[in-house]
Structure 1
Amino acid sequence: MRPNPRALYQLTKPGVTYGNLITTVAGYLFAANGHIEWGTFIALTVGTWAVIASACVTNNYLDQDIDHIMERTKTRPLITGDVTSTQAIAFGALLGVTGTLLLALYTSWWVVGVGIFGWIVYVWLYGALGKRRSVHGTLIGAVSGAAPILAGYVAVYPGLDWVGLALFGVIFFWQMPEFYAISIFRRAEYQKANVPVSSVVRGVPDTTRHIVAYALLTVVVTLSLGLSPLTSWTMWLVLGAVSARWLQIVFRGLSTKNAERWARQEFHFALIFLVVFCVVISLNPYLR
């Protein structure tokens, strides 16, 4: 069976891949502070895309046992038969090796290390183990989801400093309200697939309280970036405004009578928060 290019591309989970890549670009542009090294930037972007895509393809292979049960994943290429397992494994390996080589040759070993770390956490610690066995699987997955923005930052500043860790923290904490909200409005699907997400194991009220707590942590870490000499007042004020609006929506969850509807609202505004965050930190050098 010849590989189907469109189906192979779908295995990379384009929405997930590009969503994560946006944070890499934002992390780099924030750290570069207007001084972009285009060779490094292009290699970082393409290499990181390939590593993230590799992780998503491999995760698709591992998730076949639950993808055929859940409605939203029944049309994935491995489930429909448009791609074979062997093709998926080979494609994932090719992407991973190519991406890692690009990062090794044209960025820094810090970027390579963050990329490999994120891949291992997402594919094995989250995809193969945590997702199926523990209510804390989302926490594990959030570690890998926060790796791309750190990769972008360390491409400019090799090593770990508090600003890089704060950027990592923003994306790490942000993912919890986002994916806990999904677990609420897709609760029935997760129950059917026997995936121990928070809303299934802890119940919706407790999950809602966790959403509030993690949203607050996200905002605190976001605003702490104001202490960095890289941060402009304009950036800080815009992030403060979007944070206030997000928290307003989040706190409604504590008194809502329609948890599913509220969870969808929170989910969508959390995405808006992320987009604003990435755009503003990217443009920060020009907002002074």
Structure 2
Amino acid sequence: MSHTGTSPQLGRDAALAARAVRPGILSTITRYYSLTKPGVLYGNVLTTVAGYLLAAAWFGFSWRVFVGVVVGSTFVIASACVLNNVLDRDIDTLMQRTSTRATVTGAIGKTPATIFSIVLGVLGTLLLIVTTNWWVVGTGVGGFIVYVWFYGALSKRMSVHGTLVGSISGAAPILGGYLAASGRFDMAAVAVFLMVFFWQEPEFYSIAIYRRDEYARAGVPVISVVRGNRRTVWEILVYTVLFVASSMLLPLFGYVGITYTVVMGLLGLAWIVLGIAGLRARDVVAWSHQMFRGSMVMILALCVMVAIGPLLP
């Protein structure tokens, strides 16, 4: 089967796999690489970096620990993503954005994909053990278990609350990064975890609105399918407010200064205003695309400001 292009409806990892159709080692590497869900992977690693730099401003920077937590977390997260692809083949077959993933098309079989996941997971965990501390190892392994089993294999398929379960694992990387430098669980650790946890609901619920038909066809009980778009818009607004409130915990407890407070406060206020606009939007699907783009701006701003906030006034 040949491809002269890829559908704009495909997810990034599926599109990457769809382009890797020529025989040869490069295409094989690309297909395996696509299983790690690069967009998800690097987004999570970026939060790990931000968490580490926040703590390093107070507890000291170590290149050994920094490289260890970043590379180790990358491998563990990649391992979880690959195994999630293996387990989600039945769902991915029914959704357009995932229909060309290598585990769906058969370009990579279940067994080699599972072995790839195990290798990544073992290497990543060993690296975390050698270079960081047991807080980080526990966070990494816990995040893996929650994402693959409690979210991917169970709650995602069975409950409208699956996103909340998945958000626990999504907030693990920034927490792990912070704990790698601090070695202790304090209010800043609570703050960074809550920020990323709450951020994920507006981000994913927006996707759930404009991908509603696909999730319904695949039988995935996301909030927009189970409770409708109107309820989803309200919950997006609630979690947006909670995200903005949690982003103020760092300045409240003295970890960052006025620059962080002003930047995150203004951006957060703008995101809340956009969320309120959804309550009266005539085209809620178009609005959900805007809300999703806003979530991308917010997570990038969050990572930058968390990383440099302690160094600024």
1:91 matches 2:116: yes
Contact 1:25 1:45 in 2 (8 A): yes
Alpha-carbon distance between aligned partners in 2 of 1:270 and 1:59, rounded to the nearest angstrom: 24
Question: Structure 2 residue aligned with 1:230, among 255, 258, 278?
Answer: 255
Whether contact under 8 Å (1:253, 1:259) holds in the other structure is yes
Residue number in structure 2 paired with 1:245: 270
> Deviating runs (4+, > 4 A) in structure 1?
none
* Corresponding residue number in structure 2 for 1:133: 158
Cα deviations across residues 187-218 of structure 1 (Å, max 9, x unaligned)?
Answer: 00001001000000000001111001000000
Q: Name the structure 2 match of 1:170.
A: 195
| Residue of 36, 43, 46 corresponding to 1:19 | 43
* C-alpha separation in 2, matches of 1:179 and 1:43: 30
Counterpart code for 1:92: S
Residue 40 (structure 1) aligns with: 65
Structure 1: gaps spanning 5 or more residues: none
TM norm structure 2:
0.90
- 1:28 aligned residue: 52
Contact (CA 8 Å) 2:31, 2:108: kept in 1 or not?
A: yes
Q: Which amino acid aligns with 1:23?
A: T
Q: Is 1:156 matched up with 2:181?
A: yes
Question: Once the two structures are aligned, what percentage of the paired residues are identical?
Answer: 48
Residues 135 and 183, structure 2, Cα contact 8 Å, conserved in 1: yes
Q: Could you tell me how far 1:229 is from its partner in structure 2? A: 2.5
Distance 1:208 1:39 in 2: 44
**TM-aligned CA deviation for residue 159 of structure 1:** 2.8
Is the Cα–Cα contact under 8 Å of residues 135 and 176 in structure 2 kept in the other structure?
yes
SS at match of 2:255: coil
For 1:97 and 1:117, the matched residues in 2 are separated by 14
Distance 1:280 1:162 in 2: 17
> How far apart are the structure 1 equivalents of 2:52 and 2:249?
18
Aligned to 1:5: 29
Question: What secondary structure does 1:202 align onto?
Answer: helix
Q: Counterpart of 2:141? A: 116
1:177-216 aligned at under 5 Å gives the runs: 177-216=202-241
Which letter maps to 2:281? T
Unaligned runs of 5+ in 2: 1-22
Partners of 1:281 and 1:170 in 2: CA distance: 11
Determine the structure 1 residue equivalent to 2:78. 53
8 Å Cα contact 1:44/1:103 also seen in 2: yes
2:307 corresponds to 1:282 = yes
2: CA distance between counterparts of 1:262 and 1:2?
43
The CA RMSD measured in Å over matched residues stands at 1.3
| TM-score normalised by length of structure 1 | 0.98
Whether the aligned pair in 2 keeps the contact of 1:33 and 1:284 (CA below 8 Å) is no
Q: Greater CA deviation, 37-46 or 160-169?
A: 160-169
Is structure 2 residue 285 aligned with structure 1 residue 260?
A: yes
Shift of 1:230: 2.2
**Matched letter for residue 248 of structure 2:** L
Aligned counterparts of 2:287 and 2:254: Cα–Cα separation in 1: 37
Give the Cα–Cα distance (whole angstroms) in 2 for the partners of residues 272 and 98 of structure 1: 32
1:2 Cα deviation from its structure 2 partner:
9.4
Task: Find the partner of 1:142 among 167, 173, 197.
Answer: 167
Alpha-carbon distance in 1 for matches of 2:219, 2:151: 16
3-state secondary structure, aligned to 1:196? coil
Separation (CA, whole Å) in 2 of partners of 1:2 and 1:155 = 40
User: Aligned in 2, Cα 1:167/1:109: closer, same or farther, shift over 3 Å?
Assistant: same
SS of equivalent residue, structure 1 residue 160:
coil
1:223 maps to a residue whose letter is M
How far the C-alpha of 1:227 sits from its partner, in A, is 1.6
